[in-house]
Structure 1
Amino acid sequence: MVLLIFGLFLSVEEITQAHYGLLMLALIVVAIMLGFPTAFTLMGLGMIFGYIAFYTPGQPWYQNVIFDLMVQRTYGAMTNDVLIAVPLFVFMGYIVERAAIVDRLFHSIQLASGALPGSLAVATVVTCAIFSTATGIIGAVVTLMGLLALGPMLRAGYDTKLAAGSITAGGCLGILIPPSILLILYGATAGVSVVRLYAGAFIPGFILATMYVGYVMARAIINPKLCPKPPREQRPALARIAWELATSFLPLSLLILAVLGSIVFGLATPTEAAGVGAFGGLLLAVAYRQFSWSRLKESVFLTARTTAMVCWLFVGSALFSATFALLGGQQLIEQFVLGLNLTPIQFLIVSQIIIFLLGWPLEWTEIIVIFMPIFLPLLDLFNIDPLFFGLLVALNLQTAFLSPPVAMAAFYLKGVAPPHVSLNQIFAGMMPFMGIQVFAMVLLYIWPELALWLPEVLYG
């Protein structure tokens, strides 16, 4: 991306203000890769270059318009109704995790899937998918499932690569499956209804989770040594399975269905549904006798920390994007892209390749808040639905999370894996699932209706 920016810089003989905008874009990428805090780097560069853009000779330094713009953008982020859903969904996920509800969920699904090929890996993927609907935090899902599922799979004789791949791939489903925090931020950035985004993500998310389960079962059938079946005498009675499902799987599933169903069917806004979900998570913790002051305090602290990061990122992004557009950087990029004479499909492919490569060194939050404002104005030029583009981006970033050499999901798992599980084994286990991701993206390219049909049916 930096090379592309400097290529644009060198393609024009006369340096204009637009090239300062491109220099600003290059500097933010370099600064993030060097480890500077993203939100404050965005704000700092936005303030510096904005000061240059607004500067009038002889003007007192404190009367520069950039200071007013900073206040406006901060106030705009604070009053954004869409972002209110972020802390509530994050709190719901943390309270469910801290109350050990996911432990019970995994145990019940493990018992219910005992007769299936690769039952432990299947239970892992299904639990990841359900837990992802309770929290949009990928690191939390991968880390917790690494602690819960990796040990039992290895002790049962499962192949290390298949076990690691099931956990990392299943954990990344939270990027796409509602209530994805990524989709909330994308909706706020692109001005797209979060409700429509959630409806559009249901079918691709369900297809992807189903393909993961199908792949695990196919590998177990083809080579049973990869996933040894438990002895028949160790399988629990049907009554016990039914009891475990009724007391562990059913309550959390009903809470999630109530939250997401109320959003999709228009019974509540995402913020209202998130509030109900957070309260429901507290009630489940109380019902399971896992509620305590220390767990509540820890969940609130983690929620506040995550929310502060997201909101400051949004403020920094708004200021950075406004300065970048003011300098004319956006216009120069549009002229460059239009000069390539790309078709809509070619533009989609090129843009997704760039986003995939950015997904290696950068977090998805940085990509959404920094680079989406650059891509979004180009969508109208190519007549591309921003809802469809957002779901492609979510799938793409999910693929980047599973793609070596900088696959974040692998490092999350390595942090909690036994010492003998190497990073190379985790990478090797992730590769087939990454192939499934790419296949899912191709399906979405060929049949956009997979993402657009449900929003169209529900909302017209």
Structure 2
Amino acid sequence: MTDGALGLLQLFLFLFFIMLGFPIAFTLMAMGLFFGYLGMGERIFDLLVQRTYSVMANDVLISVPLFVLMGYIIERANILDRLFRSLQMASGNIPGSLAVATLVTCALFATATGIVGAVVTLMGLLAFPAMLRAGYDVKLASGVVAAGGCLGILIPPSIMLILYGATAGVSVVQLYAAAFIPGVMLAVLYVAYAMGIAIVKPSVAPRLPPDEVNIPFGKIALALVTSFIPLAALIAMVLGAILMGLATPSEAAAMGSLGSIILAVAYRSFTWAKLRESVYLTARTSAMVCWLFVGSAIFSSVFGYLGGQDLVEQFFKGLPLNTFTFMLLAQLLIFVLGWPLEWTEIIVIFVPIFLPLLDDFGVDPLFFGVLIALNLQTSFLSPPVAMAAFYLKGVAPKHVKLEDIFKGCMPFIGIVIFTMFCVYFVPGIVTWLPEQLYGNVAPADGAAPSSIEAPPPGGFQEDEEIRLN
């Protein structure tokens, strides 16, 4: 068996064991160590130490536990409940008002937490029953909650963007700026679809009764001031500090965590038990992320050493591809991989395979990352995995079928794909804000390569031997 074939066997066996339900991070390390020992001998254990050190010493990843802590504290402070109630009152006269309030709440809460499971679960307990009681079609209500909850993958401060930035060697700050307008655009399109379907088919999204619509303006204003403005101000300060260069993502995340605690105290929902639970969940999530990076660094390094990366590059270069067809094929593969795999596996395993090809086809890795973030929305919405659908099914009433949830997600998957084409053919959607804030951002339509070099297989790779000495 040639070295390249051994690398491909390593990749296929990894997918096989993942399908059987083995833990991702430890499967990555096991496959990397086993095949690395076959190809490198005992040197693989030196690589294990070096890669582990490089991951733990990566400053970019410091912001992950801080943003996660911020999200968990906000989640447990019942801020989402207050926010949804105020937006529900404010949007009472709008067609599909409950769907609109749900999507806006999801977008804001996704900005604060970035944790898809938390947003979908909470909105499934809060907004989903409210829409069903109001007579909303089950499929529409399901799609609204599932799709709205996935916005945290794209809208900053997205954990996915942090991991992509660390993997691709791209500035997380520039990624946040590049993803902000596409994220808002996708949320607006979701809202427009909900309003449009409510106008065309009023039966699927009935208007609320007069006693829930005719609410005094003073009461609405008070609700917005006490619930909407504090959270919006916290989000604006965190993102503003990052985008304006006033603080690094880690520093802004630390201030955001402190601000979320202050909000919880102000709303009289702060307890030591909730704080302890938030810290525990943060530690568990952060440990998972770190071990994923360690495993992916070992796996991808061995994969490249065995020649698997060369075979992949030769395969793509042997195809009659231009920039557009390469991007179309790459995004199609990521879309298909999103059916059986989660986004973390796609980012840490398959994205590094594409990164060395970006220069060959003149693609900016910043732009590529935003398209991936858009594309990964579909991995949470499309079966058979569709984690957002399963999160919602877990808290939905018994009469709600998983099939109905899947059907409700389909129009929103179409909106995501439409947005991806808009972003590709109008690259200014991605590049305008980074250019205004930082300047000198490479064209994102494939016309010119990026000034940021894509790293070799394995993502961010430094000279670990020098660092260890």
Aligning the two structures, in what range does the TM-score lie when normalised by the shorter sequence? Answer: over 0.9
Query: What are the equivalent positions in structure 2 for 1:69-148 lying under 5 Å apart?
Result: 69-148=47-126
Query: In structure 2, how many angstroms separate the alpha carbons of the residues matched to 1:420 and 1:380?
Result: 51
State the 4+ residue runs in structure 1 displaced beyond 3 angstroms.
none
* Runs of at least 5 residues in structure 1 that lack an aligned partner in the other structure: 1-14, 56-63
Query: In structure 1, how many angstroms separate the alpha carbons of the residues matched to 2:128 and 2:64?
Result: 30
Query: Do residues 188 (structure 1) and 169 (structure 2) align?
Result: no
Query: In structure 2, how many angstroms separate the alpha carbons of the residues matched to 1:370 and 1:339?
Result: 22
TM-score of the superposed pair, with normalisation by structure 1: 0.94
Question: Paired residue for 2:339?
Answer: 360
Question: Paired residue for 1:293?
Answer: 272
Query: In structure 2, how many angstroms separate the alpha carbons of the residues matched to 1:144 and 1:233?
Result: 26
Q: Which of 273, 288, 295 pairs up with 1:309?
A: 288
Query: In structure 2, how many angstroms separate the alpha carbons of the residues matched to 1:296 and 1:136?
Result: 19
Query: In structure 2, how many angstroms separate the alpha carbons of the residues matched to 1:116 and 1:222?
Result: 14
Question: Paired residue for 2:304?
Answer: 325
- Supply the AA of the counterpart residue of 1:220: A
- Supply the AA of the counterpart residue of 2:436: V
Question: Paired residue for 1:437?
Answer: 416
Query: Do residues 247 (structure 1) and 244 (structure 2) align?
Result: no
Query: In structure 2, how many angstroms separate the alpha carbons of the residues matched to 1:160 and 1:47?
Result: 48
Query: In structure 2, how many angstroms separate the alpha carbons of the residues matched to 1:98 and 1:175?
Result: 20
Question: Paired residue for 1:178?
Answer: 156
Sequence identity (%) = 66
Question: Paired residue for 2:321?
Answer: 342
Aligned-pair RMSD on alpha carbons?
0.9
Query: In structure 2, how many angstroms separate the alpha carbons of the residues matched to 1:233 and 1:355?
Result: 47
Q: Deviations over 1:183-223 (max 9, x none)?
A: 00000000000001000011111111001111111111122
Query: Do residues 50 (structure 1) and 31 (structure 2) align?
Result: no
Moved more, 382-391 or 392-401: 392-401
- Supply the AA of the counterpart residue of 2:65: P
Question: Paired residue for 1:35?
Answer: 21
Determine helix, strand or coil for the equivalent of 1:381.
Answer: coil
Question: Paired residue for 2:252?
Answer: 273
- Supply the AA of the counterpart residue of 2:33: M
> For residues 163 and 262 of structure 1, do their structure 2 counterparts lie closer, same or farther at Cα, with a shift above 3 Å needed?
same
Question: Paired residue for 2:379?
Answer: 400
Question: Paired residue for 1:68?
Answer: 46
Number of aligned pairs?
438
Q: Deviations over 1:259-288 (max 9, x none)?
A: 001111111100000000011000000000
Q: Deviations over 1:301-320 (max 9, x none)?
A: 11011110010000000111
Determine helix, strand or coil for the equivalent of 2:395.
Answer: coil
Q: Shift of residue 148 of structure 1?
A: 0.5
8 Å contact from structure 2 (residues 178, 430) kept in 1: yes
Q: Shift of residue 232 of structure 1?
A: 2.4
Question: Paired residue for 1:203?
Answer: 181
Q: Shift of residue 84 of structure 1?
A: 0.4
Query: Do residues 158 (structure 1) and 136 (structure 2) align?
Result: yes
Q: Shift of residue 94 of structure 1?
A: 0.4
Moved more, 335-344 or 312-321: 335-344
Question: Paired residue for 2:9?
Answer: 23
Question: Paired residue for 1:230?
Answer: 208
Q: Which of 401, 407, 418 pairs up with 1:422?
A: 401
Q: Deviations over 1:332-366 (max 9, x none)?
A: 21111111131111111111111111101111001
Q: Shift of residue 230 of structure 1?
A: 2.0
Question: Paired residue for 1:218?
Answer: 196
Determine helix, strand or coil for the equivalent of 1:391.
Answer: helix
Determine helix, strand or coil for the equivalent of 2:273.
Answer: helix
Query: In structure 1, how many angstroms separate the alpha carbons of the residues matched to 2:27 and 2:208?
Result: 53
Determine helix, strand or coil for the equivalent of 1:342.
Answer: coil
Determine helix, strand or coil for the equivalent of 1:196.
Answer: helix
Determine helix, strand or coil for the equivalent of 2:359.
Answer: helix
Q: Shift of residue 407 of structure 1?
A: 1.7
Q: Shift of residue 233 of structure 1?
A: 3.3
Query: In structure 2, how many angstroms separate the alpha carbons of the residues matched to 1:233 and 1:318?
Result: 58
Q: Shift of residue 231 of structure 1?
A: 2.5
